[in-house]
């Protein structure tokens, strides 16, 4: 199948787009930045992509040296991962996420597939770009069934999103739509969308969570629930 992005224009930007600018390619990179994935994982995260288009894009990314395949020892299962060349696209994906949050953000549409880890990864990129920090490391376990839990953490310098669960300072429980709606809510609506989240953790850690998202609790929140607050725009989040 012929590629559509053939600019025949001598410029590094044009050449980069010829390699990575096809539909779905950067979104595949976005999801592989969280770690190796199986074909079925990528198919689910990239809905409504078809198996045919995903296979084509993966082959093109492999040919470009951006993606590599790995076989699990003793199993037929295939995992896809980014090569060092592919991981070098992380700042590109992060810059697109930051621009999207600042200039193109809207609530999810009713028929749009939602995967909480994707939006959380975009928020981590935004926090890093805008130097949103905390005075100490923090780990938030985000549980959005039926998806697998993941950890949204600040390591003292950067924000990261990692698959799987680990001991956390705050546990967040919500539906995927409830969590994403909270992250993308306009300032006047974020405090209302907080009602769809269940927060568990020490009061000071829950209050810290609220501060990062521009919310201020009127009183110390209980350890198993945090409600209320005054919302601020994303740029008003906690900073060092």
The domains of the chain, with CATH numbers, are: 12-87 (1.10.10.10), 90-236 (3.30.1050.10)
Each residue of 153-209: pLDDT tens digit? 999 999 999 887 778 999 999 999 999 999 988 767 888 889 999 999 999 999 999
Helices (H), 5-89: 12-20, 25-32, 39-45, 51-63, 84-87
Within 8 A by CB and 6+ apart from 132, the residues are: 126, 159, 212, 237, 238, 239
Tell me what the mean pLDDT of segment 32-61 comes to. 94
The first and second tokens of residue 237, run together, are 């989040």
pLDDT value for 80: 96
Distances (CA, A) of 4 to 10, 18, 19, 91: 17, 8, 11, 24
Average pLDDT, the chain: 86
* pLDDT for the residue 217: 59
pLDDT for residue 3: 58
pLDDT greater at residue 20 or residue 216: 20
Please tell me the distance from the alpha carbon of residue 69 to that of residue 37, in angstroms, as a whole number: 10
Residue 87 has pLDDT above 50, yes or no: yes
The whole-number pLDDT of residue 222 equals 43
10 Å CB burial of residue 30 (0-12, 13-18, 19+) is buried
* Band (105; pLDDT cuts 50, 70, 90): confident
Residues 132 and 236 sit within 8 Å (Cβ to Cβ): no
Average pLDDT on 107-127 reads: 90
β 138-143/78-82 pair status: unpaired
Phi, psi of 119, deg, nearest 5: -70, -35
Dump pLDDT digits (tens) for 132-141: 999 999 999 9
Greater confidence (229 vs 89) lies with 89
Question: Of 221 and 149, which is predicted with more confidence?
Answer: 149
Indicate the pTM of the whole model. 0.81
pLDDT in tens, 207-235: 999 999 888 754 444 444 343 332 233 54
Query: What residues form DSSP beta bridges with 159?
Result: 154
Q: What does DSSP say about strands 138-143 and 170-173: parallel, antiparallel, or unpaired?
A: parallel
Q: What is the spatial distance between Cα 133 and Cα 159, in angstroms, rounded to a whole number?
A: 8
């Amino acid at each position: 199948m012929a590629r559509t992005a053939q600019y025949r224009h001598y410029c590094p930007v044009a050449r980069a787009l010829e390699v990575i600018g096809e539909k779905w390619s950067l979104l595949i990179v976005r999801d592989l930045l969280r770690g190796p994935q199986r074909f079925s994982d990528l198919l689910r995260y990239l809905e409504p992509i078809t198996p045919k288009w995903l296979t084509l894009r993966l082959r093109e990314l492999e040919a470009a040296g951006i993606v590599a395949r790995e076989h699990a020892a003793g199993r037929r299962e295939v995992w896809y991962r980014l090569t060092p060349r592919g991981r070098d696209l992380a700042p590109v994906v992060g810059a697109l996420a930051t621009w999207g949050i600042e200039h193109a953000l809207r609530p999810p549409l009713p028929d749009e597939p939602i995967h909480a880890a994707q939006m959380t990864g975009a928020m981590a990129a935004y926090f890093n770009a805008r130097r949103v920090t905390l005075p100490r490391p923090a780990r938030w376990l985000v549980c959005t069934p039926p998806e697998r839990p993941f950890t949204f953490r600040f390591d003292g310098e950067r924000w990261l999103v990692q698959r799987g669960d680990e001991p956390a300072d705050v546990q967040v429980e919500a539906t995927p739509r409830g969590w994403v709606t909270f992250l993308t809510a306009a300032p006047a609506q974020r405090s209302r969308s907080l009602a769809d989240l269940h927060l568990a953790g020490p009061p000071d850690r829950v209050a810290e969570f609220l501060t990062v998202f521009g919310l201020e609790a009127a009183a110390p929140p209980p350890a198993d629930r945090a409600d209320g607050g005054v919302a601020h725009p994303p740029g008003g989040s906690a900073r060092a």
